[in-house]
Amino acid sequence: MNTKKQKEEVTTSQKVTAFTQKLLQLHDEISRLERLVESGRAGLIAECIRDGWKKMDFHSYYYGSHTELGEGDRNVIFLFHPSVDIGRWVGAHFSHGHNVQSAKNEQFEIWLSGLPEGHYIEL
């Protein structure tokens, strides 16, 4: 005979199994969407480069100690309009800490904010 406790255990087990299956489906969907985003990003980059835009991989290394706050290295792809000279930033070393930027980061941000609208894309 099934006791009330056994029925509750079966019901709980079924709920856990259903939840686990749903979680796996959602992970699969997230992976599919991430691949779709990456494919779109790669296509945009390739198209812009064909049109003369310049790609810059921006890496700012984190020298702080607050990784528990989600802080860490900053990696961004920038695409710059063909008329923008990015020569001064090629090979530059960027770094930042907790709520602070290196002088090079600050110079880059000032330079970036001075560009005409539509002259760069941040990915």
Predicted confidence band of residue 7 (pLDDT cuts 50, 70, 90): low
Is the per-residue pLDDT at 5 higher than 80? Answer: no
Per-residue HEC secondary structure of the chain comes to CCCHHHHHHHHHHHHHHHHHHHHHHHHHHHHHHHHHHHHHHHHHHHHHHHCCCEEEEEEEEECCCCHHHCCCCEEEEEEECCCCCCHHHCCCCEEEECCEECHHHHHHHHHHHCCCCCCEEEC
Every domain of the chain and the residues it spans: 1-51, 52-123
pLDDT of residue 4: 67
User: In angstroms, rounded to a whole number, what is the distance separating the alpha carbons of residues 97 and 76?
Assistant: 17
Predicted confidence band of residue 6 (pLDDT cuts 50, 70, 90): low
pLDDT digits (tens, 9 = 90+) for 65-81: 788 888 899 999 999 99
pLDDT of residue 45: 97
pLDDT of residue 64: 81
Is the per-residue pLDDT at 53 higher than 90? Answer: yes
Would you say 120 and 84 are in contact if contact means Cβ atoms under 8 Å apart? Answer: yes
